[in-house]
Structure 1
């Protein structure tokens, strides 16, 4: 059996039959000669057999047997091991959408999971049928477009244009779900239970919790359990080693650094200088760290991978189960990405186990922040017995509201109460816990909408042990359903088929156009006029938003005293015995610190609050995190060249106008992504500007020691703020500048994309001699287009 057959079976969603094909020695050449009787013997189940026969029929129709060797070579060149895959995975998720049936993952012993447990990962029968239908359609349409792309001559202008449009169809949908909570709250157990992998992430009350971000997603190219480990830079570790000299013994930062050093060096670090501790001999077991490369691990089972990952995530000097290691490398790790084979809940979703913020390491802290702003959903995890009073859980919400709200893209917040007691009266206890959490959440109503807030109660351990549970008792199945909906392939299918339908319409319209040059020019003039009018509406809406923001920010600058009063309230806590140590930690971490009790401190957001508070409401209306709501009061979603009415009037260029219709949909989807990314940059620029201004203040405060150090440190901060009130005006100007940049990008993208498409679609007949005949493909895709549109309209009606 060769790579071509193996990869082909994976693409068709038939991975469970790989061993059978291997046993029968089926290779690329013999694959093309299989008859019905042989296929029946190879694939004994009717469903997979039908899928295989249909895909094989299309494969034979597209390529002659003599091309098989070339295909093998192409497939092999795209499968060059995990290292290449890890480097390219964020751009190359298109193959995941080709899978039409997912093979259930295996247990840690390599055996199929029980039917009862596998059942818990399934969505409703109706949703499953729709998803299977969508994926089958998507696979067929992608196959058609690949063939068309291969047949197009890109040496001509129109051909190059069409090829680029086909390439642009590939859009990866990946949702980030951020999982927060204090160490020991049950985050790892929750993730293991949700994705039905009992032994994947290490669990238990392991003492040395680190700042390592752990991402969990699907492995779509292998049946292996794989991990990719990203290290901090060597220079960053060198700086951390030197920073030990600045700490006072007994302080939290000193104790944390000692844990790191003891984990990596044992007791040897105590009589060594930072220069000695960076010597290569200490890193001989992780040469990737010194070479600034990522380390890859590959295992057959989840349990095996979990064992290997221990030294890179947390631990030392001794685990609760007695596990020890000569060296623990977690102090050097920035993030770990774990990939699970063929887990349908992770196809388009990444679960991210996030530690608390305020890390001393700059790159780790920046990664944490970037992931948080990109999370579409946030899970706050707390033990059910203390959920409503869990300080750290609520501090996370309060401190991160800017990053997951206006400064991010979070649409839903789930508060997950873990370790639900399996007692007879559990249901009323669960209900009581939910009510307490909801009441606590009401106090945050100004920062968050309760529209996307839900509370879940569950026991991960019980779910994994009992296999089948009642949803009223244990709501893990509800969270699995939620992830299944995030993975819903319907929108991806609609977008791809819609775009493919437009491109094929353009090709066929250009090849068989009956319109004369004069008529094409007339249509162009109408379209260009419509575009100018629509662009004017967009510009007016953006201008109005900018004026509103400037007015709000001007008021915010005037109210800067409110921020300074909040700062004073923090600095006046000098009666607290440990406040001096807290303030020291704050200035050493440039204004950001998380205390051992879970309190999240960020002086930069405190000072910027006069500005963020002034625009929060207007910002939410202008840039809703739910992009379907429409940015700038829906002006982007309303953008239209009125191609529908033009089709009735200009039948000779109907196909070209259909292409322009689909181009409108694509550019609006693209702009929504640009706006979502841009609005994060715009909103967060307020705090970032304040942070830059405060940097020197923090550095000056670091130097203070001796008698009255606390008083002098407070005075330094207060004096800097009072003498630098122009930082609020600077923050306002920076935000407005970035807002203007976004406006320019929006208008430029709209105008250039649609103008380019108009000219190529309606002035292309003279350039279309070499275009292939796609009439049959167009008919097929048109049928699929009608089918997915009906399904989409039915879905919208039901909502």
Structure 2
């Protein structure tokens, strides 16, 4: 068995099976030959680990060929070569539109897809210094883990193996891209990535419900798209609902034609709504079924026939469909049918062209030779979606976005309602209920101006762009709801021209502001701390191992332990004090919020149930809107316009009461002191002073280096956990109200016929009147319980993690510990190299 197999199994979290592979003589070459399930069963009989192995092996086997990998100094898994000097590899920068770096034809087309004799293929970058370091350190830790595995299991031995397995911290920075169809989102993403033909635009209409993720392909050198579908059951239920709506609409139409009484209490107010709903359903069914769904005898079960899904068998097996191509243009042509549609079929064409976007949950597009490996751009619908799984994915992605781009046409950018409605509707999900640190309001098509005088157009564009920025910033300052979650330092306006950037006409590249966005993404990618965290953790673990192997000072250890435990108790007391103050502050805020909610909830509900136009006139179409609100649990997401969320409206006084305190307790930006007034970030056992004090005692110094690293790693993990928990804490207020209101929605949804609108209104009004004394108190209590649970967990984690580390590093007397002096020297060098790289950025 060779080191390659050992390293792979360790990296995949399957190190306990190394012995089995060694016993059967599985080396690098034979690993690539493993294809039969029965052979894998002999190596890994357990189902869970076996499935993980099979998935990883499949990915490994589809990597680029050895010759291609050799050109990139990569091993078969795409990792950089071990032992390469970091100085030999320069970190790839996102290029500006320099002719020397990338040839464009007169229309700004890239050389992609052109004959090699005419254009040189896009250069394949070598691995960055960080990637080289990361791979080398992972290899070192794989060897160390194997040496530990061969030794007698002890408490310290198991502790060290677990620490090595826990080292990997891998996540992506998400950039959410919002904007209505036609705003220029696709062109913007294409320009930023310098892939003009990647996301389609123009001749076919975009589907606003499909989420498109764009990220670097770290597996191979092809363009790929992973299509994820909704479930078969979800589509069957959706079909039934749509067919029911169409049948009811048909019955109503016939009754009206016959002069019959079709009064359902709506006084005709829902006609406009029904028309919009009808058009949406027709668009969705026509995309997938052409005209076949209009046949009178067709039922929703008929529309589930396999013949409609022959091209996508993955849909029935709940599997992703993967598309691959050599160029962006080829891939775009393949996946367009999963994200967009064209209502016009080609004349004379017998075969129906199917558009599968109604079945698609998300599309992940992977771009090769792109160094934004830690960043994912996500083209998002503005309101989420009626489909439950798509809406849950929307919420999950939105709450994880560290940056949000609001994209709109520069014409009337400040005054147009839709981009501000999108930002307002998402504010609670990306703000206190999320983790967004930057909002970029991006005005596209900044070059679209009358070109009466070519000599003056450049100055006109720059002048208009300055005015647009001023107007948008002024409008942001008027958005009270948004500013509850964000301050001015998180908001920035860009005026971009994707077309001019690619064509290099009229505007200088910097004036298109595309390079500015590229640099932002590059910095976002480079600030990702996976490599730093991994190497730092490895440095600490090796320090602990080496310190334990040459331990010679029990008396010194006793004194150090006493001081560390004293420092730990002191720090825990500080954390407890701040947390008690925080809990009390939220309690006071929520008490006030409960009282305001109780006294005003019926008025808030009335303003929703009896909407008026400007001038006091009755608003038409509300009957159908309310039917959707009660059907979908208090939430209605129309295709156009702002989403309606009655639960948020009823809980608004509760959330308003805590918004400021919440921002202080859980600040969004990295520059702030951190959660709970910075008490977590400032937590310290004062190990640096002790390291200096015992610098002449090698074993103690090494143990203290581990404790300092362990302290840092623990704070990183705690801050990540706090970031996720605070979202749940904030959303619990609205979720409690939603849960309490659910029974009234269910009762209101069953009304039909005469007086339906009146009965729905009465049901909701009576429920709120009966529940107002308990509903908001329950919401308050649930939030405080969640906050208290988080605080308890943090205190236990701080105390138990550090006490265990002190015990095992300074009090355990074990001698069967391997010597890792050489490994420590190499990793220590990498550690200091990374610190210098980080400080030079």
TM-score computed with the length of structure 2 as normaliser: 0.79
Task: Map Cα deviations across residues 446-486 of structure 1 (whole Å, 9 max, x no partner).
Answer: 32211110111112233233389524531111111110001
8 Å CA contact retained: 1:299, 1:305: yes
- Give the conservation status (yes or no) of the 8 Å contact 2:410–2:446: yes
Distance 2:510 2:559 in 1: 64
Which secondary structure state, in structure 2, belongs to the residue aligned with residue 619 of structure 1?
A: helix
Q: CA–CA distance in 2 between the matches of 1:116 and 1:109? A: 10
Deviations, residues 724-776 of structure 1 (Å, cap 9, x unaligned)? 11211111111112112212221222222212211221134x323241x2223
Partner of 1:307: 333
Aligned position for 2:288: 264
The 2-side partners of 1:525 and 1:136 are apart by 41
Correspondent of 2:313 among 287, 296, 302: 287
State how far apart, in whole Å, the 2-side matches of 1:76 and 1:660 are: 44
Q: How has the CA–CA distance of structure 1 residues 285 and 137 changed in structure 2, closer, same or farther, with 3 Å as cutoff?
A: closer
Counterpart residue number, 1:297: 323
Q: Secondary structure at the match of 1:724?
A: helix
Q: Secondary structure at the match of 2:512?
A: coil
Q: Does residue 570 in structure 1 map to residue 604 in structure 2? A: no
Which 5+ residue runs of structure 1 have no aligned equivalent? Answer: 12-66, 123-127
Query: Take 2:198 and 2:316, find their aligned partners in 1: how far apart are those partners?
Result: 28
TM-superposition CA deviations, 1:385-432 (whole Å, max 9, x none): 121122221101111111010000000100111112255111111111
Structure 1 partner of 2:794: 746
Partners of 1:303 and 1:477 in 2: CA distance: 23
Match status 1:219 vs 2:246: no
Partners of 1:231 and 1:292 within 8 A in 2: yes
Residues 49-88 of structure 1 aligned to structure 2 (within 5 Å): 70-73=27-30, 85=59
The answer to whether structure 1 residue 789 and structure 2 residue 835 are counterparts is yes
Whether the 8 Å contact between 2:345 and 2:353 is mirrored in structure 1 is no
Q: Quick one: distance in 2 between partners of 1:433 and 1:115?
A: 40
Q: Secondary structure at the match of 2:786?
A: helix
Q: Residue 546 of structure 1 corresponds to which residue in structure 2?
A: 583
The CA deviation at 1:287 is 1.6
Q: Quick one: distance in 2 between partners of 1:348 and 1:464? A: 25
Query: What is the aligned partner in structure 2 of residue 701 from structure 1?
Result: 748
- Shift of residue 348, structure 1, vs aligned partner: 0.4
Asked whether 1:510 is paired with 2:548, we answer: yes
Q: 2:197 aligns with which of 196, 199, 219?
A: 199
- For 2:605 and 2:487, how far apart are their aligned partners in 1? 26
**In 1, are the aligned partners of 2:345 and 2:352 still within 8 Å (CA)?**
no
SS of the equivalent of 2:287 reads: helix
Deviations 1:239-260 (A, max 9, x none): 1112121466443223212221
Query: Per-residue deviation at 1:495?
Result: 2.3
1:731 aligned to which of 768, 779, 797: 779
1:483 aligns with 521
Q: In structure 2, do the counterparts of structure 1 residues 110 and 684 end up closer, same or farther at CA, with 3 Å as the change threshold?
A: farther
Aligned CA distance change for structure 1 residues 520 and 76 (closer, same or farther; 3 Å) = farther
Q: Secondary structure at the match of 2:149?
A: coil
Shift of the 112–732 alpha-carbon distance from structure 1 to 2, 3 Å rule, reads farther
- Provide the rounded CA distance (Å) in 2 between the counterparts of 1:68 and 1:83: 17
Q: Secondary structure at the match of 2:816?
A: coil
The answer to whether the Cα contact below 8 Å between 2:190 and 2:197 also exists between their aligned partners in 1 is: yes
Of 369, 379, 387 in structure 2, the residue corresponding to residue 342 of structure 1 is: 369
Contact 1:212 1:334 survives alignment (8 Å): yes
Is residue 636–residue 668 contact of structure 1 (8 Å, CA) maintained in 2? yes
Residues 76 and 351 of structure 1: is their aligned pair in 2 closer, same or farther, counting only changes over 3 Å? Answer: farther
Shift in alpha-carbon separation, 1:73–1:619, aligned structure 2, 3 A = farther
Separation of aligned partners in 2, 1:460 and 1:117: 23
CA–CA distance in structure 2, aligned partners of residues 79 and 321 of structure 1: 50
Residue 603 (1) aligns with residue 650 (2)? no
Deviation at 1:322, TM superposition (A): 12
* Distance in 1 between residues matched to 2:748 and 2:641, nearest whole Å: 24
Q: How does 1:79-118 map to 2 (within 5 A)?
A: 85=59, 98=80, 108-109=112-113
| Aligned position for 2:14 | none
Q: Which residue of 2 aligns with 1:462?
A: 500
Structure-2 separation of matches of 1:567 and 1:112: 66
Aligned to 1:497: 535
Partner Cα separation in structure 2 for residue 168 and residue 380 of structure 1? 37
Q: Give me the whole-angstrom Cα distance separating, in 1, the residues matched to 2:539 and 2:776.
A: 51
2:431 is aligned to 405
Q: Is the 8 A contact 1:226 1:338 kept in 2?
A: yes
Q: 1:152 aligns with which of 135, 148, 151?
A: 148
What corresponds to 1:587 in structure 2? 630
Q: In structure 1, what is the Cα distance between the partners aligned to 2:223 and 2:440?
A: 28
Q: Supply the distance in 2 between the matched residues of 1:200 and 1:490 (Cα, whole angstroms).
A: 25
> Aligned pair 1:434/2:430, yes or no?
no
Q: Deviations over 1:341-394 (max 9, x none)?
A: 1211x3100111101325221111111111110100000011111211222211
SS at match of 2:200: coil
The structure-2 alpha-carbon separation of the partners of 1:264 and 1:102, relative to structure 1 and needing over 3 Å to count, comes to farther
Distance in 2, Cα, partners of 1:238 & 1:647: 65
Partner residue, 1:125: none
Shift in CA distance, 402/117, structure 1 to aligned 2, threshold 3 Å: farther
Of residues 766, 773, 779, the one that matches 2:825 is 779
CA contact (8 A) 1:117 1:468 kept: no
Partner of 2:676: 632
Structure 1 equivalent of residue 690 of structure 2: 646
Q: 1:320 to 1:433 in 2, by over 3 A?
A: farther
Q: C-alpha deviations, 1:521-543, integer Å up to 9, x for none?
A: 33323322322222222222222
Q: Does 1:253 align with 2:271?
A: no
Q: Residue 513 of structure 1: SS of its match in structure 2? A: coil
Match of 1:680 among 727, 732, 737: 727
Q: How many residues align?
A: 718
Matching residue within 744, 763, 783 for 1:716: 763
Distance in 1, matches of 2:128 and 2:116, equals 22
Q: Which moved more, 1:101-110 or 1:326-335?
A: 101-110
Q: In the aligned structure 1, how far is the partner of 2:782 from the partner of 2:117?
A: 55
In structure 2, how many angstroms separate the alpha carbons of the residues matched to 1:137 and 1:749? 31
Q: What whole-Å deviation, never above 9, does each CA across 1:52-109 have from its counterpart, x for those lacking one? A: xxxxxxxxxxxxxxx99823445777997899549x99xxxx9788586678999540
